[in-house]
Amino acid sequence: MTPLWTARAIAAATGGEASSDFTVHGVAFDSREVTTSDLFVAMRGEATDGHKFIDKAIAAGAAGIVCESTIDHPHVRVADSAAALNALGTASRARSHGRIIGVTGSAGKTGTKEALFAALDRFRPGKAHRSVKSYNNHVGVPLSLARMPSTADFGVFEMGMNHVGELAELTRMVRPHVAIVTTIAPAHLEFFGSEEAIADAKGEIFEGLEPGGTAIVPFDSPHYARLRAKAEQHAAHVISFGLGADADVRAVDWLSDGKGGSLVTAQVQDALLCFTIAQAGAHWVSNSLAVLAAVKAVGGDLPAAGLAFAEMAGLAGRGARHRVPFGGGHILLIDESYNANPASMAATIGQLGSESGERRIAILGAMKELGPDGAAYHADLAAPLVAAGVQFALLVSDEIAPLAKALEGRIDFAHVADHSAAKARLGDLIRPGDTVLIKGSNSVGLSHLVTALTNGEF
């Protein structure tokens, strides 16, 4: 197997000094993720120092270390390990011959990235690379780049931000041939103040486009004109996607497949494609259109992408569906516990309304970083809950109190302080045959409820 990096290449990329010859087949900066033949980058952070975990990384199978001091293991010594990781990511991008796609947006980034990878990997098995998990920040992006094999034909990278200028820095490192904005929603309003400012910050992704690059923008967004104007400053081609009739890539028709997914007929510029999406919800129809636009832009295969949509399983914390034994029967558990903003909350609650089941139960945590309008955004979720026919809502955390007030006299609900208190209510709340949605910002900790239910603790 061709190594991912040699000690000599690492030293050349980082300006470091190699202690000996060695090769690695992976890169990690968290010692808990190190596997055999990895390179461990020991970085100093605010909470801890990766240098303290070098022995643990070696014990886990690391073949080499990037560090800031001389050690008794194969290593490349550098002045600054964080800067070295950036340099390694930049060197990986420089040596790549592949077509690179960057993905950002207020919601749908990870799902779109995973769908793109599935579509391109089906087209050329083993030749597509993508960032894993939600490694989309100032350390996750260079790590994901550093992990890209030099032989990859395609690279798909998720990029996030919560301050002005962050995305501009990341996109200039990724240098995508295709850049996608999935949607604009009031996420991180605490740092931006308005959706227009969020749209401007997301539009920074176009600044790193390679010459001749393609920008893919959401036609149905109220900020479409703003995004398109930004894209036209940097892209040779601008492609719109959405449900609107004038979008370049649009859904001609779509309906439920009766299994939680959708049957879609899409016009992809000059091509017509019919396909099934295993994932539930109108937002996945929209995501699929962005994926198809990107696949076409990088020379991929549209039918292969259609097959990939049908095979995609739900992502943990982002729509995974579990049929869980409970109380002598089963429940349908929909896991959306990783992230939440007003747009994704409303869309997911709306999807819950289309689900079958004895009862529809919504377990909702607070949405974070919404700024001074946070109370109003939480209260506004009452209408979607009522419209979806939700029989009971379990509301978690102090910040979601405005929703509790808005629901008074409209549907049954309970309001608890944290995920531990919510867990204590599950045994009495849920009954066999229920469909249960769990959604909130990751920091609320609703994933603990998902784990408890799927592990059969009740």
pLDDT one-digit tens code per residue, 267-325: 999 999 999 998 887 888 999 999 999 999 999 999 999 999 999 877 788 888 899 99
pLDDT, one tens digit for every residue, the chain (458 residues): 799 999 999 999 999 999 999 999 999 999 999 999 999 999 998 888 999 999 999 999 999 999 999 999 999 999 999 999 999 999 999 999 999 999 999 888 999 999 999 999 999 999 999 998 778 899 999 999 999 999 999 999 999 988 889 999 999 999 999 999 999 987 666 777 788 999 999 999 999 999 999 999 999 999 999 999 999 999 999 999 999 999 999 999 999 887 778 899 999 999 999 999 988 878 889 999 999 999 999 999 999 999 999 998 777 888 888 999 998 899 999 999 988 989 889 989 998 998 888 999 999 999 998 888 899 999 999 999 999 999 999 999 999 999 999 999 999 999 999 999 999 999 999 999 999 999 999 999 999 999 999 999 88
CA–CA dist 18, 70 (Å, integer): 10
My answer on whether 240 and 382 are in the same domain is no
My answer on whether 332 and 216 are in the same domain is no
- The SS3 of residue 365 is strand
Instruction: List residues bridging with 76 in a β-sheet.
Output: 18, 66
The parent domain of residue 228 ranges over 96-311
Residue ending a domain, among 291, 311, 331, is 311
Is 172 inside any structural domain? yes
My answer on whether 67 and 103 are in the same domain is no
My answer on whether 327 and 306 are in the same domain is no
My answer on whether 127 and 170 are in the same domain is yes
Is 256 inside any structural domain? yes
My answer on whether 75 and 141 are in the same domain is no
My answer on whether 347 and 415 are in the same domain is yes
Residue ending a domain, among 30, 45, 79, is 79
How many structural domains is the chain composed of? 3
End-to-end C-alpha distance for the chain, whole angstroms? 46
342 contact partners, CB below 8 Å, separation of at least 6? 185, 186, 367, 370, 377, 380, 381
pTM, whole model, 2 decimals? 0.84
My answer on whether 43 and 110 are in the same domain is no
Is 86 inside any structural domain? no
List the one residue out of 55, 143, 154 whose CA is nearest residue 101: 154
Q: What's the CA angle centered on 29, arms 146 and 80, to 5 degrees? A: 80
My answer on whether 156 and 285 are in the same domain is yes
My answer on whether 439 and 420 are in the same domain is yes
Is 87 inside any structural domain? no
My answer on whether 73 and 55 are in the same domain is yes
User: Residue 247 corresponds to which tokens in the numbers above?
Assistant: 């979008």
Cβ contact 40:81 at 8 Å: no
pLDDT one-digit tens code per residue, 375-423: 999 999 999 999 999 999 999 999 999 999 999 999 999 999 999 999 9
Is 89 inside any structural domain? no
My answer on whether 73 and 103 are in the same domain is no
